[in-house]
Every structure is written in structure tokens, then in C-alpha cells.
Homo-oligomer: A and B are copies of this chain.
Amino acid sequence: MRSFKFIAESSSNGVIERDFTVGEVSGVLWSPASGADRAPLVLMGHGGGNHKKHPAMAGRAELLVTGCGFHVACIDAPGHGDRPRTAHDEQEIAELFRARAAGEPEGPIVVRYNAHLAELAVPEWQATLDALTELPEIGADGPVGYFGVNMGTAIGVPLVAADPRITAAVFGQHWPDVLAEKARQITIPIEYDMQWDDEHIPREAGLALFDAFASKEKTLHANAGRHKELPRFEAASAVRFFARHLGRAATVPA
């Protein structure tokens, strides 16, 4: 097992934030300040170009911790946040910016680059989960959720397909090309977010990835709007989804 250690701790608004490392991987664990009672864990995957403490991550973590009493963990993806970029990372990012500037479709580059990052990230997440479930306040038997859209879905779908410890997941906003095959192996409850007028991901592509999940319980949330306009109330919806499936009450805004 890769070595796990906490390297910093702070606290605000009822949430304890502990930075940690698992081998080379930098992560953060948010927990209720109110006590060390055993509680379910939600893993969060951040979006491409972001990092573990991006405001979207911190905001969702606060809803999950203060609304449900969950522990919430996020790790930096390879080449993101506190982690170094390789020459290959730089090359793919440059290619993405070039395509974007030229008005070419981003999909083929994002799909290929995210698939590469997922291959590296899945074992990193599994090592992180090994370590976190040894903490007494989480434990090895408790339910675990996964929450990540965009690149968080590109990494999360193969992770969930590979790891039976994860029992409920919220995904969204990705292409089916690489992921549909893994999605067909997934049977846990799923909530899936897509944007009805996504300028990057064709509507049929979003619907096809949702369709691929083998889960008996799955819900698609499709909102009018463009790629970056995912409504904020979907974060609260995800929190309630985890409350239902990980066995906690939820106190979050409507």
C-alpha cells in the first residue's frame, strides 16, 4: 500500500479540512467538525483543468458534510492541482486549446486525454480508498459514493466499474465513446447530469452514455442550457441522491 499521511488541517463553517498524500497523490478529506462518528464516504472527482479544492468541489463538499454528515474526499488528477504536468499533458492541453481557438470539436481530444488520465487515476483512487477506509471515522464496511461530472465522469466510470466498494454514483457530461463499455458493467444506482443544449457533447451522445448504464435504478437530469450552465440545484440533488442511497437524512436547499 502507498504511504498515507495527513499533512495539514483547518476548520471552518462546521467542516474540518485535512490535506493528505497517498504516495505521490495529493488529496483532501472534508469531515463534520461535530464529531468523529463513523459516517459514509463520498469520493469526488474534479473537472478537467481544475483541482481538488476548486470552489465547485469545496461547495459540494460543504453540502455533503453539513447537509448529511458525510466524509468527502477529493484527489488531484494526474497533471492537475499540486501534481506535475508531463510533456504529454502539456501536449494534449496545447492541442485542446488549439482546437478550441480554431472552432474545432473538443470531443475527440477530451475523450482521448481523459481516457489516458483515467488509466493512471483509477489505481490512485483505489489506493486512496484503501487508506481512507482504514480511518476509524470511515471504516471498511461503510457505504461509499462517487460524485464527478466532466473529467470526473471519465475517471469515475472505470473506477466504479472496477471497485465494488462504491455503491452509488453521480456522473454527467461526457461522451460515450470510451465510457459506454464500462458503463454497461455498472449496476449500482446512478444519477446522470447532461445539458440539453451542450455545444460540445451532442445530445445523442449524452443520452447514449446514460442509456449504457446497466443499473436498475438510474435517473437522467437533462437541463436546458449550454455545457457550463449546469444548474446549481443539481449539486443539491446529488446530495439528496447520496442521502437516499448511503442511508442518511439530508438538509440542503431546494
Residues of A within 8 A of B (CB): 196, 207, 210-211, 215-224, 231, 233, 237, 240-241, 243-244, 249-250, 254
Q: How far is the CB of A244 from chain B (nearest CB, A)?
A: 5
Residues of B within 8 A of A223 (CB): 218-220
Q: How far is the CB of A191 from chain B (nearest CB, A)?
A: 10
Residues of B within 8 A of A250 (CB): 254
Interface of A is mostly: mixed
Report if A217-B224 is in contact (Cβ < 8 Å); known contacts: A243-B254, A254-B240, A254-B250: yes
**Copy total for this chain:** 2
Could you show 8 A-B contacts with beta carbons less than 8 Å apart? Answer: A196-B218, A196-B220, A210-B222, A215-B224, A219-B222, A233-B244, A237-B237, A240-B254
Residues of B within 8 A of A216 (CB): 224
A254, B241: Cα distance in complex, Å: 7
Q: How far is the CB of A68 from chain B (nearest CB, A)?
A: 9
Q: How far is the CB of A233 from chain B (nearest CB, A)?
A: 7
CB within 8 A of A219: which of B210, B218, B221, B244? Answer: B221
A215, B215: Cα distance in complex, Å: 31
A231, B240: Cα distance in complex, Å: 14
